A and B are shown apart, each in its own frame.
Chain A
Amino acid sequence: MRGIVLAAAAVTLAVACGTARVDPEVTGDPQRIVSMAPSLTEILFALGVGDRVVGVTTYCNYPPEARGRAKIGGFVNPSVEAIVALEPDLVLVSPAAGNRDSALAARAAGVRLEIVPAETLADTYDAIRSVAKLCGVPARGEVLAGAIRERIARVSARVAGAPRVSALFCLQIDPLIAAGRGTLPAELMELAGAINVVEAERYPVVGIESILARAPEVILQSRMDTTDPDADAVAVEYWNRWTSIPAVRDGRVFVFDGTTSLRAGPRVADAVELLARSLHPESST
């Protein structure tokens, strides 16, 4: 009986030590940071602590300096070994399909893991603040978040007078995947003065008939492959078949780098400004 109690106590102690948070105030600010999400990578660099980033995913392509850091694998299937091998004192992860196991495995291996959701616009502001605090630069976080918020508000004010434009934000054409309610691109689009023609949630595969019926005035096509110069032409060619869509008829199909609209990072303001220029060219200076 006594043996069991002692064993239970020992196990509890071990678990408590294993999951104990290391207090940054005690050990100093993290100097070796691994980011498991492109949005978090951008936030780290925007906060001026980019030199402390030692590991990024293969999708972390902004800013250019981030590309030079060691790679820990993809966004969906990062390598736990690569993460641990870098001996980080902080690993940031944004929960997404597929990276849960890797993240928890890294934590089990002893690295300090912090979960920073970066999906929606609200997440962006929270993420900036959380990351700033974790890195010991909380003031910079406030400044950055505030600046972004202000820029977005200015755009919204500018387009407030004009009637809302119906728009489709399209991620890829084969199959046809659009941004629906509750996604970041949809939020940004609405702030830029658009009505999303897709009412379904998340990123549904849509039928072309539904798009034809909704008759969007603007099609925002996210460039599918940033490395392929022909990618734009493929997308435009596809949409040009559907001449009955107002966006196609009026020549308002825009192909652009969608990463700013798809990453809950510091460039969301850039995205809103870009979207507003396409949606309400008359309101842009």
Chain B
Amino acid sequence: MPSPSVKRGVTVLAALTALLIACAWLSLGVGPSPASWSDVPGLLTGDADPVTRDILARVRMPRLVLAAVVGAALSGAGVVFQAVLRNPLADPYILGVSGGAALGAVLFTAALGTAAMGSVLGRPGAAFAGAVGTLALLSLARVRGRTEPTVLLLVGVVLNAFYSAVILFLLTAGDTSRFRGALFYLVGSVSAAASLSWTVLASVTALVAAGLAVLLLFSHRLNLLAFGEEVAGHLGVDVERTVWLAVGGASLITAAAVAFTGLVGFVGLIVPHLVRTLAGPDHRLLLPASALGGAAFVVLADTAARTVVAPGEMPVGVITALIGGPFFLGLFLRRLRER
């Protein structure tokens, strides 16, 4: 007999899944061109004209998938980082993993110039390498076999500052035209999806899904970390192993996401908060719920990003920041008043 909390959890997940499907449906049918849901049947039978086919199947669909994957990855990672650092203000970028990814991407562009644009997987590969390299640097935060969240945070802040300096240097000293793309990357954009093959998209989706599944296995231990590492240890948690596996897993899915889309901001920060008010602090529910909520959020944001200023396009990071900033402030103020 499932406990009432399990029943509630299933309801929450079902509702968020429905939300994601609704947002995906919206995203498929809305865009700067007239292509719409009514064209989808034609797509399946092969009757659709080539332009509509290109728009629906090779622009909107890939973007939908990438946006959902990135939203899920960043939100899931955000939940994990907030738990491990016991800090509700933590986001997936706080430890510098994203800075490493950004640096990898910018260095790649700087080194290869125009050829960089020709290599579809080159920049993501370099970004991923940068993120993984940062994880290695973060391990320096282990002091005498113990990792304190404060120390981890400090190392992350220092890394972020260093990365920012190098990136800004490269951007200002180099050929500005080359780096307009880098700027889009730093703000976060899903537009790269249109250039990716379905093999690549499927691989990223699989990687992020697998990562989230592994993190789900740690979700109960993340609950126990809420009292601090000492108490978690008293309750039988191997704290060091849990922290590093969780941080590692969350960093990898963050890296996989930002490798392609750049640093889409606020998703990893506000989605866990929003979902926590709905689903509660139990990470066994919070993690999958945040992944679903985050996916829906970024899908919606990207729909706006590519439609609102048509024929122009905004980086999705602008939308998430515009929504995320005030929303977070509102949420924060409300909690303050509650106490």
Contacts and interface: CB of A to CB of B under 8 A. Distances in A.
B54 A174 contact: no
A233 interface: yes
Interface string A166-208: 0000001111110000000000000000000011100011111
Interface residues of A, number: 38
A213 B31 CA distance: 10
Which 4 A-B pairs rank lowest in CB-CB distance, beginning with the nearest?
A213-B33, A210-B311, A244-B50, A234-B118
B114 A206 contact: no
A183 B264 CA distance: 31
Given A205-B312, A208-B194, A228-B114, A244 B53 contact: yes
Interface of A: 74, 76-77, 172-177, 198-200, 204-215, 224-225, 228, 230-231, 233-234, 237-238, 241-245
B166 interface: no
Contact of A205 (B34, B55, B184, B195): B184
A213 B33 CA distance: 6
A215 B169 CA distance: 40
A259 to B, nearest CB: 12
Contacts of A228: 113-115
Interface stretch (B15-23, B94-102, B175-183): B175-183
Interface string B11-45: 00000000000000000000111110000000000
A207 B55 CA distance: 11
Contacts of B51: 212-213, 215, 244-245
A258 B184 CA distance: 23
B148 interface: no
A208 B59 contact: yes
Nearest to B119: A234
Given A207-B32, A213-B34, A230-B115, A244 B181 contact: no
A231 B114 contact: yes
Contacts of B34: 213
Contact of B117 (A198, A211, A234, A244): A234
22 contacts: A174-B181, A200-B311, A205-B184, A205-B313, A206-B312, A207-B312, A207-B313, A209-B33, A212-B54, A213-B32, A213-B34, A213-B35, A214-B311, A224-B177, A228-B113, A230-B114, A231-B114, A234-B115, A234-B117, A238-B117, A242-B54, A243-B54
Contacts of A176: 191, 313
A173 B312 contact: no
Given A209-B31, A238-B117, A204 B312 contact: yes
Contacts of A243: 50, 54
A175 B195 CA distance: 11
Given A175-B191, A199-B311, A244-B51, A209 B117 contact: no
Interface-centre pick from B51, B306, B309, B312 (highest chain A CB count, 10 A) = B312
A208 B178 CA distance: 19
A231 B175 CA distance: 15
Nearest to B123: A174
A209 B177 contact: no
Given A207-B306, A209-B32, A213-B35, A173 B311 contact: no
B50 to A, nearest CB: 4
Given A174-B181, A175-B191, A233 B118 contact: yes
Contacts of A200: 311-312
B33 A212 contact: yes
B180 A175 contact: yes
A3 to B, nearest CB: 47
B313 A174 contact: no
Given A209-B31, A234-B115, A244-B54, 16 more contacts: A172-B181, A175-B181, A175-B191, A175-B313, A205-B312, A205-B313, A206-B311, A208-B191, A209-B55, A212-B55, A213-B33, A224-B177, A234-B114, A234-B118, A243-B54, A244-B51
Contacts of A224: 114, 117, 177
A77 to B, nearest CB: 8
Given A174-B117, A228-B113, A206 B313 contact: yes
Interface string B147-182: 000000000000000000000000010001110110
B189 interface: yes
B114 A204 contact: no
Contacts of A74: 176
Contact of B59 (A209, A230, A234): A209
Interface string B190-206: 01001100000000000
A231 to B, nearest CB: 4
A283 B117 CA distance: 35
Contacts of B176: 74, 76
A209 B51 CA distance: 9
Contacts of A199: 311
Contacts of A212: 33, 51, 54-55, 59
A183 to B, nearest CB: 14
A172 B179 CA distance: 11
A204 B311 contact: yes
Nearest to A209: B59
Given A173-B117, A214-B311, A230-B115, A209 B180 contact: no
A37 B189 CA distance: 32
A209 B49 CA distance: 14
Nearest to A97: B176
B59 A198 contact: no
A230 B117 CA distance: 11
Contact of A225 (B50, B55, B114): B114
A159 B312 CA distance: 30
Contacts of B114: 224-225, 228, 230-231, 234
